[in-house]
Structure 1
């Protein structure tokens, strides 16, 4: 019983650590793609802070695909009148960035 309990704790710790590392790993991509010119992680700049985006979409199962599409193609209206222009990212990069934003808390 103790062995099972220890294994569950170790698995949870690894999963938590992996999630945190994954989130941190995409910051260089966001910087390289100029996302950080209009966004920050934790406060509004031109666009919303990424933590605010994550909170808004936390219960939306379709959020990863929606955000990836907005990152790639741009958008308007979800956060006010200032539009987000299309970004020069691949589909894979847009998905990575969307997953990263949604992982922030």
Structure 2
């Protein structure tokens, strides 16, 4: 992930200061090149209910979650970042595999 971000930003970091223009112009250019990295979806009642059921349907199939810590951690992350609960579950599962 950081490699991809560096590749996206690398051109701006390597450009001479005179060629970069104003900071605002540089930031606008960088923003236009980045994917919507904060597009996590909003909290969703059906996603929350699926996680709370301990058996959410995901792209991986039906998962079997433990109330502690799986459901609790997922809802804490989703509430803290105001994001979709199934996306929060996906992030936690990805992090646990690393």
Same fold, TM exceeding 0.5?
Answer: no
Smaller-chain TM-score range?
A: under 0.3
Q: Scaled by the length of structure 2, what TM-score is found?
A: 0.26
Q: Higher strand fraction: Structure 1 or Structure 2? A: 2
Higher relative contact order (CA 8 A, sep 6+): 1
